[in-house]
Structure 1
Amino acid sequence: MSTQEHVPPSSGEPVTAPTQHRSAPSLWPPLRALALRLHFYAGVLVAPFIAVAAITGLLYAYTPQLEQWLYADQLRVEQQGHRIPLSLQVEAAQEAHPEGTLHAIRIGGPEDSTRVLFQVDGLEESVRSSVFVDPYTGEVLGTLEVYGNSGALPVRTWISMLHRHLHLGEVGRLYSELAASWLWVVALGGVVLWVSRGRTGSWIRRVFLPDQGATGRRNTMSWHGTVGVWMLLGVLALSATGMTWSAYAGQNIGTIRQALNWQTPSLNSEVFEAGHHDTGGTTAEHGHEHHVAVSVDQVVGAVREAGIDGPIEVIYPASETQAFKVVETGREWPVQQDSALVDPMTGEVIDILRFEDYPLMAKLTVWGIAAHMGLLFGLPNQLVLTALAVGILALIIWGYRMWWQRRPTTREGFALGRPFPRGSWRRLPLWAKVALVAVLVGLGWLMPVWTVSLVGFLVMDAVIARTST
């Protein structure tokens, strides 16, 4: 028995059977769901660390004014005619502080005291004792401990360590590295999620302006998303510069910078061979009799003629193989951090490094760190950091509010907000899984603390999944 498979239409033209096209499943829905789940866990669990970093960072931003207020008697002087020679200021400081080894001298503006810095046994690493001298009278104004190349005084040092490691030492640095490592991930991922939401209306309006008609959780999300978009660039800059100071990520970033020749250049004061100079001539400041024949006044005069002006630090040679090293200390825009080496026997400038000759990435690093500290543009810089810190805290509060608003609406007692649904990973194609794992491995090498916390999130999620079924 035969069958007729197809009856042509009356026109007589043959008709083929319709072909069914099965489109490949879209990659974005499972990726977006995966990003939502990661954003949820990071927002809930890492947000407290980010909040602490934002608050302590905000405090640190205003430490320049705090220093000027607390230590006004040591820092500020009345401008009155000509300054006395620096060598006499050094002598006055040495008489007041004979137990220290003369290390450097800092020279500021016309209303700034001169800082004579000593290395003293028993002080912590990177800490020096500073004797403040009136440059017009030679009067010793007081003695304070200073920290690091920035010359931070005790209150700024204390707040800096609070921001850096909560005064818990190296273990405490994990908190700030965790915050800096996750900050950019949460911010960038959140903006991508917000921009990709399917909403009607103008793209610019729905991305950059909150939805005035929204209520409840939609209203909270609207403010959370739009403020996050406006803050993205600033938050990314804070995260990137913050990671350069971290223990593990910072070391890896340094390795990358070295490999790409992005390091900040510097002069090495070890420029002479032992016994190169005749040390039988006259000597200058006490403590360097065997390898210094010129005064600090001659050194400063030589570098001023070479074009190094503004606030400077003159570092004394610690041995006969070293030269004087002079560096500009200002970090305000336009940044000018030239440095020079001066022969301690002749007072001649033997090498000079101009900031304008720095590689671009080295300049960006200097500018970025100064901006992170609130120093680059002065008060406007501090106000921007204030807006970023307040905005981060607002985003965290909105994030927790959305978590609470997402809780199950039952009457069966207390319930926390629900995470986003699982199953996104299983819906990804194999090639996408391989690519995603490769990216995570790369980020894992760069940010080890971030990696450990991410593994912790995955383990916790697996445990919750096991116990909730």
Structure 2
Amino acid sequence: MPVPTSEPVSPDTIPDPPPPRAAPGWAAIRPLLLRLHFYAGVFVGPFLLVAALTGIAYVWTPQVEQAVYAHELHVPAAPGAVPLDRQVALAGAEVPDGTLTGVRPAPAATDTTQIIFDRPGLEPSYHYTVFVDPHTGEVRGALETYGSGQALPLRGWIDTLHRSLHLGDFGRLYSELAASWLWVVVVAGVVLWLGRRRSARRARGRRRLLSWHGGVGLWVAAGLLFLSATGLTWSLHAGANITDLRSSWNWTTPTVTATSPATPGDVGWQPVREATARAGLADPVEIRPPSAAGESYVVQQVGRSWPVKQDAMTVDPGTGQVTGSLPFDDYPLAAKLSTWGIDAHMGFLFGVANQIVLTVVGVAVVCLVCWGYRMWWLRRPGRGEARFGRPPARGAWRRVPGRVLAPVLAAAAVVGWFLPVFGISLLGFLAVDVLLGMRRQEVAR
């Protein structure tokens, strides 16, 4: 005869009840979405927190740059200007081991001219920039700059923190993992929230957190999907696949042809800028020198706020005549969308309004993650126990009809191949879930 015992039984030792047979409609799909949303949220929550906080910091770096590097970036307004060729020569004397790669003439009377060099020992995508007073020729300073946006050291440091945690390509996996799963968490969460049962009772405790979590998530869902999609374009592995896809569909950003007639001589930087200004190319611009014989100067607009200034022209170095142009209006629609999307993701496209929206979305992500973990904590079996609550019941996939489950699995396989970090982590989820199920069964026996 069994001997009764008063020892409490831990909920972790109780096996999950066998799932019911396949059910039609929402009753079959909801448990699977709930389990997916739960596990994905728990797993990528820390990565989303880091991405959100570093993203908020990055969004406001343009204003911080203007204050921190005011001496290098700005000068007192004054009449007249030193010829651009003289400014370039003065900057070159400061960097005898540098290779000149570009010049950004001062776009306003209170701005400096930026003379950009490549220099031995610089990390990839980094440059060495000398800042020159266009009125006097005084060298105001020299700094390492990053990327095509000429990010100064502070913004470049925060940019790298946001993208890779300063851990190189290995660190970029964190941001790719966050971007790969963010859209899954958002879509599952929106579907769950819209399909929930409404209750007339006043929300309290965990129900109140759930209400906040769902409501805020619904309001910022579009922004989160946008950040996920644009973030993936910068990622290490998925970004390469996106680039290949754009190339195969001819969606790449076009570039102006730099070849020109082999005219001897070089008119210099100032005539090149004057020729493109007369042709209608407004500041701000970057002038890139010919890279070889038979190549032209390339003058590219670098304005990133709305309306975007990205027109480009080529100039024959021998005659100083404009030989070609590529207006932004002639870009394919996909290339325009890519440009607008990236600039909006970085907070440049609509200025302060863009920055405020991104900040609100970032703060919302922080709240959503914290509320999610708090709700998990409140699900713990006993209020006095220092552990998290149980996840949604296992075996939800068995309730989904085969005609629905089959295309879902096929779609997951395709997405997992295109987004490899998502695919590998999804397999890891499944493996861990199976192992935990086997352990629970062993403990129950």
Query: Which residue of structure 2 aligns with residue 190 of structure 1?
Result: 189
Query: Which residue of structure 1 aligns with residue 16 of structure 2?
Result: none
* Ranges in structure 1 where 5+ consecutive residues have no aligned partner: 1-23, 202-210, 282-292
Counterpart-to-counterpart distance in 1, 2:379 and 2:57: 33
1:304-345 superposed Cα distances (whole Å, 9 cap, x missing partner): 112110210000112113211111111011112101111111
Q: Which runs of 4+ in 1 moved over 3 A?
A: none
Structure 2 counterpart of 1:454, from 390, 409, 426: 426
2:263–2:319 CA contact under 8 A, matched in 1: no
Structure 1 counterpart of 2:206, from 200, 212, 217: 217
Structure 2 counterpart of 1:338, from 303, 311, 335: 311
2:101–2:117 CA contact under 8 A, matched in 1: yes
Query: Which residue of structure 1 aligns with residue 13 of structure 2?
Result: none
2:263–2:316 CA contact under 8 A, matched in 1: no
Computing the radius of gyration from Cα coordinates, the structure with the larger value is 1
Counterpart-to-counterpart distance in 2, 1:468 and 1:321: 72
Query: Which residue of structure 1 aligns with residue 234 of structure 2?
Result: 245
Query: Which residue of structure 1 aligns with residue 160 of structure 2?
Result: 161
Counterpart-to-counterpart distance in 1, 2:263 and 2:58: 48
Amino acid at match of 1:380: A
Aligned 1:34-49 pairs, distance under 5 A: 34-49=32-47
Could you say what secondary structure the match of 1:172 adopts?
helix
Counterpart-to-counterpart distance in 2, 1:72 and 1:121: 27
Counterpart-to-counterpart distance in 2, 1:192 and 1:262: 32
1:267–1:198: structure 2 CA closer, same or farther, 3 Å change rule?
same
Query: Which residue of structure 2 aligns with residue 286 of structure 1?
Result: none
Aligned 1:267-306 pairs, distance under 5 A: 267-269=256-258, 271-272=259-260, 277-279=262-264, 281=265, 293-306=266-279
Query: Which residue of structure 1 aligns with residue 67 of structure 2?
Result: 69
Deviation at 1:424, TM superposition (A): 1.7
Select the structure with the greater relative contact order (CA < 8 A; seq sep ≥ 6): 2
Counterpart-to-counterpart distance in 1, 2:234 and 2:294: 31
Deviation at 1:200, TM superposition (A): 5.6
Could you say what secondary structure the match of 2:58 adopts?
helix
Structure 2 counterpart of 1:428, from 400, 414, 418: 400
Deviation at 1:36, TM superposition (A): 0.5
2:257–2:324 CA contact under 8 A, matched in 1: no
2:28–2:401 CA contact under 8 A, matched in 1: no
Could you say what secondary structure the match of 1:445 adopts?
helix
Amino acid at match of 1:120: R
| % same residue | 49
Coordinate RMSD, CA, aligned: 1.5
Could you say what secondary structure the match of 2:127 adopts?
strand
Aligned 1:7-406 pairs, distance under 5 A: 25-107=23-105, 108-199=107-198, 213-269=202-258, 271-272=259-260, 277-279=262-264, 281=265, 293-406=266-379
1:139-194 superposed Cα distances (whole Å, 9 cap, x missing partner): 11111111111111111111111011000000000000000111111111101100
1:60-117 superposed Cα distances (whole Å, 9 cap, x missing partner): 1111111111111110011111222111111211222222122210123221100111
Counterpart-to-counterpart distance in 2, 1:431 and 1:90: 68
Deviation at 1:278, TM superposition (A): 4.9
Length, aligned pairs only: 419
1:235-257 superposed Cα distances (whole Å, 9 cap, x missing partner): 11111110000011111111222
* Ranges in structure 2 where 5+ consecutive residues have no aligned partner: 1-21
